[in-house]
A and B are shown apart, each in its own frame.
Chain A
């Protein structure tokens, strides 16, 4: 980390107008009265994404209010996961990846040259599609691994392990075998371990890339419960193909669609309830009702 590195400030109650961050009108118009006061913690402005010469996502403007769950829905291959990876600078590891537009976290452009990408990833955690605990580590080591990787101080190991596993609803199942290998857990347990691992470094935002797509219905239900609980003090952005899941867990929904041969765009976004019950765009209506996908 260099001296010029700008440390990302912890989330604070910023005034919407004063900071210039904005909620897209479609969301703003429909926010319930309490959400009108919510801060926008993360926002994208005119985000375009390329792989090599191919433009895959065009002009995405989205705002993610603090302590809410936003679901990104849309057909396979339309770039939702890529967009998610833009939000914490994971996309830049892909050869040929390119970006235009801005992503603001707490009012700070995360792609600014002074920003340390490691700080961004500490503040904006990620849970992946397939459970990916470190197989050679124990359950406990997995929970603490992020702290080691990000070189953060560890004050009370036991407490960190217990609280994070509790928040990920895994504590009761593993409290007697914290030293067992992470690979000994079932797929659903492994995914909850990955959530606990991501929580250990105290991110303000959690990005989840189809976290239940490789899991059975029981595990899915538990993880959805965890997501709802997390949203009481955390901002969650979740990519999902499961319409019912989007309705169950999210406060807001953004619908991505790539028309034939064209890059993907956000067709509609707003309160989940509105998107699913009274979509404005006929394409959204067709998609959420399963007429294509």
Chain B
């Protein structure tokens, strides 16, 4: 259709539609605030990258794929694969324990518990989230390790034929198994809070539909609430994984760090790794080059958690798109 020559030119409104001065000031503050987070993120990354660059260049790809850490002046080999793998292993094991507990807890709070009990539980979980990780680590070291070691021994005794529960050292303390429990205690509140928030938003009319069709409460939760909350729960789990991988002090207390060997799956052996804890363990006595290598390890951890968060975002948005479709 050709435009009539008398048709006037349209004037598009753009961003400046009916904005008052207050709106403009408010917008500027919001823009500054949102860019500041991006600025801080970039600044930290740049600092880590520039400071550690010389060491990363010397070590090459071996920095993230090798298993040697030797700071003798004439050797200077810094490789962190056991620590990277350990961080992932601890995180995943922590999730194995924390996810079922958190999701069931959230279901209980939202759908089953009477209101007063819901409130008390919510408060307890918030308090649990606020306990400093150092304190949990100390408790893990002084109190929990002895109990969890006994659980580990039992696992080894009865299920030791399954490779992951094997133990040749006869030592059960300071293993990835115990680190995973401590991490689970720390990430359960995060996953529970996120799951609770999203489950509570399950549309009432859909739950009504499920129950009205002869579904039990569990039927409704399984068919309606969990699929509805799936994206949000996965997001919460990934947040938890991010926290678990970045956890430093608590792991430092309860896990035996082994730098020259990767413990692939023997979770009851007192051998493990954690990038964050390694930085704490080595930093005090490190010389110039080693400090740079530790900052490089920090950079790797930073990128790793970024990747985890990006995966989380991708998963959450995929579920969201599915819902819209």
Please, which residues of chain A bring their CB within 8 A of the CB of B208?
90, 126, 128, 132
Q: Is A132's CB under 8 angstroms from B211's CB? A: no
Nearest chain A CB to B129 CB, angstrom units: 27
Across the interface, B209 reaches (CB within 8 A) one of A122, A134, A148, A152, namely A134
Q: Is A134's CB under 8 angstroms from B214's CB? A: no
Q: Is A136's CB under 8 angstroms from B210's CB? A: no
Known A95-B115, A136-B323, A145-B223: A150·B205 in contact at CB below 8 Å: no
Q: Is A132's CB under 8 angstroms from B213's CB? A: no
Nearest chain A CB to B213 CB, angstrom units: 4
Instruction: Categorize the interface residue count of chain B.
Output: 20 to 34
Instruction: Flag whether B60 is at the interface (Cβ < 8 A).
Output: no
Please, which residues of chain B bring their CB within 8 A of the CB of A125?
212-213
A125 and B211 CA atoms in complex are apart in Å by 10
With both beta carbons as reference points, the residue of chain A lying nearest to B224 in the complex is identified as: A134
With both beta carbons as reference points, the residue of chain A lying nearest to B324 in the complex is identified as: A183
Instruction: Flag whether A198 is at the interface (Cβ < 8 A).
Output: yes
Instruction: Flag whether A118 is at the interface (Cβ < 8 A).
Output: yes
**A119, A145, A152: which has the most chain B beta carbons within 10 Å?**
A145
Q: Is B212's CB under 8 angstroms from A128's CB? A: yes
Q: Is B323's CB under 8 angstroms from A149's CB? A: no
Q: Is A201's CB under 8 angstroms from B325's CB? A: no
Known A128-B205, A132-B206, A135-B323: A88·B213 in contact at CB below 8 Å: no
With both beta carbons as reference points, the residue of chain A lying nearest to B213 in the complex is identified as: A146
With both beta carbons as reference points, the residue of chain B lying nearest to A149 in the complex is identified as: B215
A126 and B209 CA atoms in complex are apart in Å by 8
- Write out, one digit per residue, whether chain B residues 184-209 have a CB within 8 A of any chain A CB (1) or not (0): 00000000000000000001011011
Please, which residues of chain B bring their CB within 8 A of the CB of A148?
223
A110 and B206 CA atoms in complex are apart in Å by 24
Q: Is B227's CB under 8 angstroms from A149's CB? A: no
Per the 8 Å Cβ criterion, residues 33-68 of A in contact with B are none
Please, which residues of chain B bring their CB within 8 A of the CB of A122?
214
Known A136-B227, A149-B219: A130·B205 in contact at CB below 8 Å: yes
A212 and B140 CA atoms in complex are apart in Å by 60
Please, which residues of chain B bring their CB within 8 A of the CB of A198?
212-213
A201 and B325 CA atoms in complex are apart in Å by 28
Instruction: Flag whether A220 is at the interface (Cβ < 8 A).
Output: no
With both beta carbons as reference points, the residue of chain A lying nearest to B207 in the complex is identified as: A93
A136 and B325 CA atoms in complex are apart in Å by 9
Nearest chain A CB to B43 CB, angstrom units: 42
12 A-B pairs within 8 Å (CB atoms) are namely A90-B208, A95-B115, A121-B213, A125-B212, A128-B205, A134-B210, A149-B214, A149-B216, A150-B213, A151-B219, A152-B214, A194-B209
Given contacts A88-B212, A146-B213, A149-B210, 9 further A-B pairs with CB under 8 A are A93-B211, A125-B213, A128-B208, A134-B224, A135-B323, A136-B228, A149-B213, A149-B219, A201-B214
- Residues of chain A at the chain B interface (Cβ within 8 Å): 88, 90, 93, 95, 118-119, 121-122, 125-126, 128, 130, 132-136, 145-146, 148-152, 181, 194, 197-198, 201
